[in-house]
Structure 1
Amino acid sequence: MDWNSFWASVGQFFADRGGDLLAILGILVGAAIIRWILHFVVKRVVTQIVTGIKKTQRVDDTQSLQASPLAAVRVVQRTRTIGSVLNNVITWTIIVIALIMVLDTLGVSITALVASAGVIAAGLAFGAQNIVKDVLNGLFMVIEDQLGVGDVVDVGPATGVVEAVGIRITQVRDVNGTLWFVRNGEILRVGNMSQGWARVIIDLAVPYETDVEEVEAKLLKTAGELASSPKWRSTVLEKPEIWGLESISAEALVIRLVIKTRTTAKDEVARELRMRIKKSLDDMGVQLPALNSIVLSGYEGAASVRGSKPPRTKPVSVVENKAPRRAPRTPRKPEAE
Structure 2
Amino acid sequence: MNFNRMWERTVEFVVNEALWISVGMAMLKILVILVLMAIVVKVGKKAIERVMVLRSKTPIGYTERRQNTLIKLLQNGLTYIVYFAGVLAILSAVSINVVGLLAGAGIAGLAIGFGAQSLVKDIITGFFIIFEDQFGVGDTVMINQSNGTVQEIGLRTTKIKTYTGELHIIPNGNISEVINYSVYNSLIMVDVSVAYESDVDEVERLINVFLDGAEEKYPELVKRPDLLGVQALGTSDVVMRIAAETLPMNHFKVGRMIRRDIKRFLEEHNIEIPYQKMVVFEQKAGGGSTNATK
For residue 79 of structure 1, report the CA deviation from its aligned partner: 1.6
For residue 11 of structure 1, report the CA deviation from its aligned partner: 6.9
For residue 259 of structure 1, report the CA deviation from its aligned partner: 1.1
For residue 198 of structure 1, report the CA deviation from its aligned partner: 1.8
Aligned position for 2:67: 79
| Greater share of residues in strand | 2
**TM-score normalised by L of structure 1:** 0.62
Q: Hey, what's the Cα distance between the residues in 2 that align with 1:11 and 1:203?
A: 89
For residue 38 of structure 1, report the CA deviation from its aligned partner: 1.6
For residue 266 of structure 1, report the CA deviation from its aligned partner: 3.5
Aligned position for 1:289: 275
CA RMSD of aligned residues (A): 3.8
Map 1:266-285 → 2, pairs under 5 A: 266-282=251-267, 283-285=269-271
Q: Hey, what's the Cα distance between the residues in 2 that align with 1:100 and 1:36?
A: 20
**TM-score normalised by L of structure 2:** 0.69
Sequence identity of aligned pairs in percent?
26
Q: Hey, what's the Cα distance between the residues in 1 that align with 2:105 and 2:213?
A: 73
Kindly indicate whether residue 97 of structure 2 is the aligned counterpart of residue 112 of structure 1: no
Aligned position for 1:92: 80
Q: Hey, what's the Cα distance between the residues in 1 that align with 2:76 and 2:248?
A: 29
Work out which of the residue numbers 241, 257, 263 in structure 1 matches 2:242: 257
Structure 1 residue identity aligned to 2:129:
M
For residue 115 of structure 1, report the CA deviation from its aligned partner: 1.7
CA contact (8 A) 2:44 2:78 kept: yes
Q: For each residue in 1:85-125, what CA deviation from the matched residue of structure 2 results, as whole angstroms up to 9, or x when unmatched?
A: 10111112223334455556512513233223322333x32
Map 1:200-239 → 2, pairs under 5 A: 200-207=188-195, 211-227=199-215, 230-232=216-218, 235-239=220-224
Q: Hey, what's the Cα distance between the residues in 2 that align with 1:284 and 1:178?
A: 46
Q: For each residue in 1:192-216, what CA deviation from the matched residue of structure 2 results, as whole angstroms up to 9, or x when unmatched?
A: 3332322222123445665555444
Map 1:1-337 → 2, pairs under 5 A: 5-6=9-10, 8-9=12-13, 14=19, 18=23, 27-48=33-54, 75-101=63-89, 105-107=95-97, 109=100, 110-122=102-114, 124-126=115-117, 129=118, 131-207=119-195, 211-227=199-215, 230-232=216-218, 235-263=220-248, 265-282=250-267, 283-290=269-276
Q: 3-state DSSP class of the match of 2:158? A: strand
Q: Hey, what's the Cα distance between the residues in 2 that align with 1:146 and 1:215?
A: 44
Q: For each residue in 1:133-190, what CA deviation from the matched residue of structure 2 results, as whole angstroms up to 9, or x when unmatched?
A: 3333333333322222333333344333333333333333333344443443333333
Q: 3-state DSSP class of the match of 2:116? A: helix
Q: Hey, what's the Cα distance between the residues in 2 that align with 1:255 and 1:80?
A: 42
Q: 3-state DSSP class of the match of 1:147? A: coil
Structure 2 residue identity aligned to 1:240:
P
Question: Structure 1, unaligned stretches of length 5 or more?
Answer: 54-70, 291-337
Q: 3-state DSSP class of the match of 1:142? A: helix
Equivalent pairs, count = 264
Q: 3-state DSSP class of the match of 1:37? A: helix
> CA 1:117/1:179 → structure 2, altered by over 3 Å: closer, same or farther?
closer
CA contact (8 A) 2:186 2:251 kept: yes
Q: Hey, what's the Cα distance between the residues in 1 that align with 2:15 and 2:237?
A: 92
Q: 3-state DSSP class of the match of 1:256? A: strand
Question: Structure 2, unaligned stretches of length 5 or more?
Answer: 277-294
Structure 2 residue identity aligned to 1:198:
S
Structure 2 residue identity aligned to 1:241:
D
